[in-house]
Amino acid sequence: MLVTCDLRDRAFTYYKCFPKLVVEVLSDRTEAFDRGDKFANYRELASLEEYLLVSQKRKLVECFRRNAEGLWVLHAYGAGEQVELTGVGWTGAIADLYEDVEVAS
């Protein structure tokens, strides 16, 4: 999933070029790729501010956020915490993200 706020993306029906946030739900099969080559490609997008990885194994959300210097900083959120997505102005309980999902805490 992704979020774009760029008006240029309205011209594209099937793909977006200027995401602000990209969210990946990790699986055993894709986790290494999502953390490695895929993230390396996403980091080249000037519009991308946050890359969110959501674990299926436990209540854990990892947000890689680009800081003012252009460096990617990890913000990890666990059970009982509030997830903050500054790029899109959203804050919410991690419990809400995992509502009706059975995983280890």
Q: Is the pLDDT of residue 38 over 90?
A: yes
pLDDT at 104 (0 to 100): 63
For residue 101 the two structure tokens come to: 């999902």
**Total-model pTM:** 0.89
pLDDT at 67 (0 to 100): 96
Q: Is the pLDDT of residue 17 over 90?
A: no
pLDDT level of residue 5 (50, 70, 90 thresholds): confident
Residue 42's Cβ-side half-sphere holds a number of Cα atoms within 13 Å equal to 25
Task: Supply angle C-alpha 59, 64, 67, rounded to 5.
Answer: 145
